[in-house]
Structure 1
Amino acid sequence: MCHFHFVKYFTISNSLPCLALHFSHSSVSFFFNLNFTKLPCRLQDWPNATSGMCAAGHAKDTFLEQKRKKIYRYLVFRIDEKKRKVVVEKTGDPAETYDDFTASLPENDCRYAVYDFDFVTSDNCQKSKIFFIAWSPSSSRIRSKVLYATSKHGLREELDGIHYEIQATDPTEMDLEVLKDRAN
């Protein structure tokens, strides 16, 4: 009787996906490492097995504009399952408030958000900290929660310059006071 087993999915040093397979027949056993060198899209667009969806180039560029040029107060990201990418859903002007930001998050679905929090220290110094907020309300669908949870790490790696991260399932967990406490 033949046995064919999927053993492991992994990446090698040059980040190409590989597949380890084990095949056995009677007393003979074979182990294969299959290296997929021809990929159907750009390598940087492939999510790996543990990171879920990858960020679209526009999402990274928009974050860099927020970080460097301060032209956005906040960014709201959503997962586009058809494109298999994390995309920018909404941007907030620098004049918008924290209440405007929280109102832009859906009540019953998950989102990622980046908020540029300006504050004054006790020494009267003007500072700014960038918060990454993983919004996963308890009323959202389980599929959505799983998809956003598995994609968060990959997106966070793409967004270099985040100071603090907040995981929120309820609006009180990302209240403005929570940001103030974390920033100080």
Structure 2
Amino acid sequence: MVVHDDCKLKFLELKTKKTYRFIVFKIEKKQKQVVVEKVGEPTPNYEDFAASLPSDECQYAVFYFDFVTAKDYQKSRIFFIAWSPNTSRVRSKMIYASSKDRFKRELDGIQIELQATNPTKMGLDVFQSRAN
């Protein structure tokens, strides 16, 4: 599986310049490569991100999560989400699962990984608990 250069470029912009809040990636089956599907501007919140993931298709996503610690420190973490809904096709799940580690290695700076099969597996409370 090839990773399109635009994926790395957009991720670098998210990581260093905070240009985006999230990036959603998909695998283009014909070209056998991972490409950028959608980007979220810095202002969208978690709900915008969750709504951008399809209910029946696997995808990868990166989410820049800002939070405040128990001691009132402002922090952030970059999450990698392997989105694989229960309603997606088995072949698609297999392709995404087998390509995940290779793709993730291309995105230097991911701090936390989540596997999600439905929205409750990646709720705001899950982000908060994993970020601390």
Indicate the TM-score class for this superposition, using the shorter chain for normalisation: over 0.9
Segments of 5+ residues of structure 2 without an aligned counterpart are none
Match of 1:144 in 2: 92
Match of 2:7 in 1: 59
Match of 1:91 among 11, 30, 39: 39
Match of 1:157 in 2: 105
Using the size of structure 1 for normalisation, the TM-score is 0.71
Match of 2:128 in 1: 180
Higher relative contact order (CA 8 A, sep 6+): 2
Segments of 5+ residues of structure 1 without an aligned counterpart are 1-52
Q: What residue identity is the alignment partner of 2:83?
A: W
Whether 1:125 aligns to 2:70 is no
Using the size of structure 2 for normalisation, the TM-score is 0.98
* Superposed CA offset, 1:117-140 (max 9, x none): 000111211111000000000100
Report the structure number with the largest CA radius of gyration. 1
Percent pairwise identity: 56
Whether 1:171 aligns to 2:122 is no
Does the residue aligned with 1:133 lie in a helix, a strand or coil?
A: strand
Report if aligned partners of 1:54, 1:151 keep a CA contact under 8 Å in 2: no
Distance 1:55 1:107 in 2: 24
Match of 2:20 among 57, 62, 72: 72
Higher helix share: 2
Report if aligned partners of 1:54, 1:154 keep a CA contact under 8 Å in 2: no
Distance 1:85 1:63 in 2: 16
Number of positions where the alignment pairs a residue of Structure 1 with one of Structure 2:
132
Give the C-alpha shift of residue 54 in structure 1: 2.4
